[in-house]
């Protein structure tokens, strides 16, 4: 079973109101069930979405970015005949269907540009337990050793891995559209997830779990899709 997780990093600013503000303020002093983590609680990460098939089985996850759109990993989505076109799929959650748009540069072999957008058939009903996460600006700089949180049906606090540390494990497989995190005794193994980052209690989506160690090695950094790299593409799709 795969859970998409989102990565958020501490001390990032957002210029958009009404996003990234959970009704329950999370504590970064604990980890919550991932690999070496703990359970999370309802409302703590109100943008976390469960993607389910027509039988109600969870197969992946995503993050709500507004009442109509969810961002997820492209590798979680069955391939479309024409990737640049809206591609209806048999996806549902509580009877809600999704329209899928994968990034046109997604490469299923290198896992580069691993991002997709899902449009809800009807708007999500926002409230204390359902609200969007903020998106990062295109020029977002993520300093090494920034504290981040990876969330799914659990959460864990991460430190961003510096580029040299990441290259030590993955070499040229890491591209400008990716960011590394973890590798210090915790893992988002076999989970699809996202990283949010917070400034004064406001969380920004900075990464989407893409790939990593095949044997769940908690000492190896995980590669995430760098969301800021795709901000212009996200805006062009959402605002079309």
Could you list the active site residues?
75, 114, 193
The distance from CA 165 to its chain's CA centroid, rounded to whole angstroms, is 22
What does the DSSP assignment read for 55-85?
A: TS-EEEEEEE-SSSEEEE-GGGSPPPSSTTS
Residue 171, CA distances (Å) to 165, 168, 213 in order: 10, 6, 13
What does the DSSP assignment read for 108-169?
A: TTTTBT--EEEEESS----BTTB-PPBPPPTT----TT-EEEEEESEEEEEEBPPHHHHHHH
The two beta strands, 193-199 and 5-9, are parallel
Continuous segment of H or E residues that includes residue 52: strand 48-53
């Amino acid at each position: 079973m795969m859970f998409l997780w989102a990565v958020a990093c501490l001390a990032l600013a957002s210029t958009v109101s009404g996003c990234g503000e959970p009704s329950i303020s999370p504590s970064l002093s604990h980890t919550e069930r991932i690999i070496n983590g703990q359970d999370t609680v309802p409302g703590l990460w109100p943008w976390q979405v469960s993607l389910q098939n027509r039988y109600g089985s969870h197969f992946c996850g995503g993050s709500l970015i507004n009442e109509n759109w969810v961002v997820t990993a492209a590798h979680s989505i069955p391939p479309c005949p024409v990737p640049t076109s809206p591609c209806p799929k048999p996806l549902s959650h509580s009877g809600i269907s999704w329209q899928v748009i994968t990034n046109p540069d997604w490469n299923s072999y290198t896992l580069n540009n691993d991002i997709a957008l899902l449009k809800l058939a009807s708007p999500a009903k926002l409230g204390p337990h359902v609200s969007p996460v903020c998106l990062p600006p295109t020029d977002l700089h993520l300093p090494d050793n920034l504290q981040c949180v990876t969330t799914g049906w659990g959460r864990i606090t991460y430190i961003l891995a510096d580029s040299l540390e990441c290259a030590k494990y993955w070499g040229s497989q890491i591209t400008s559209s990716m960011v590394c995190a973890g590798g210090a005794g915790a893992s988002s193994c076999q989970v699809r997830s996202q990283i949010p980052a917070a400034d004064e209690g406001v969380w920004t989506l900075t990464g989407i779990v893409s790939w990593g160690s095949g044997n769940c090695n908690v000492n190896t950094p995980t590669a995430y899709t760098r969301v800021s790299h795709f901000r212009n593409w996200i805006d062009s799709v959402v605002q079309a």
